[in-house]
């Protein structure tokens, strides 16, 4: 591979200002112990709704995105299915 090929922009690279395709523009609710454990083991945390999170850092919530209703209802209704801890909302 030449230097020109290495520097040339790829068709697979998306511009920085466009959101990724798997972004659903919702703020998901996580079980705190499970999220902490996942981060310590370099794994992706899993929200209450069970959605597979994208393989990138989570965006910070600036209070402009809606909350995932499924996550909130599951967190209120019972303990975490993974670890059994009850959420305090």
Whether 72 maps to a domain, the answer reads yes
pLDDT computed for residue 25 by the predictor: 74
Whether 17 maps to a domain, the answer reads no
Whether 11 maps to a domain, the answer reads no
Number of domains in the chain: 1
Whether 46 maps to a domain, the answer reads yes
pLDDT computed for residue 87 by the predictor: 79
- Cα–Cα distance measured from residue 59 to residue 86, given in angstroms and rounded to the nearest whole number: 25
Helix, strand, or coil (residue 79): coil
Whether 12 maps to a domain, the answer reads no
Rg of the Cα trace of the chain? Answer: 17
pLDDT computed for residue 66 by the predictor: 83
pLDDT computed for residue 61 by the predictor: 56
Phi, psi of 7 (to 5 degrees): -90, -30
- pLDDT per residue as tens, the chain (89 positions): 555 555 555 545 555 555 555 556 788 888 989 989 988 888 888 889 888 887 666 565 566 778 888 999 999 998 888 888 887 76
C-alpha dihedral (37, 42, 23, 47), degrees to nearest 10: -20
Domain that holds residue 82: 22-54+61-89
């Amino acid at each position: 591979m030449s230097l020109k090929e290495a520097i040339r922009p790829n068709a697979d690279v998306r511009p920085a200002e466009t959101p990724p395709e798997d972004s659903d523009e919702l703020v998901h609710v996580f079980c705190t112990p499970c999220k902490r454990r996942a981060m310590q083991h370099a794994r992706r945390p899993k929200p209450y709704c069970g959605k597979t999170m994208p393989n990138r850092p989570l965006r910070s919530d600036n209070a402009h995105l809606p909350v995932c209703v499924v996550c909130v209802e599951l967190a209120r209704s019972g303990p975490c299915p993974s670890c059994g801890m009850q959420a305090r909302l």
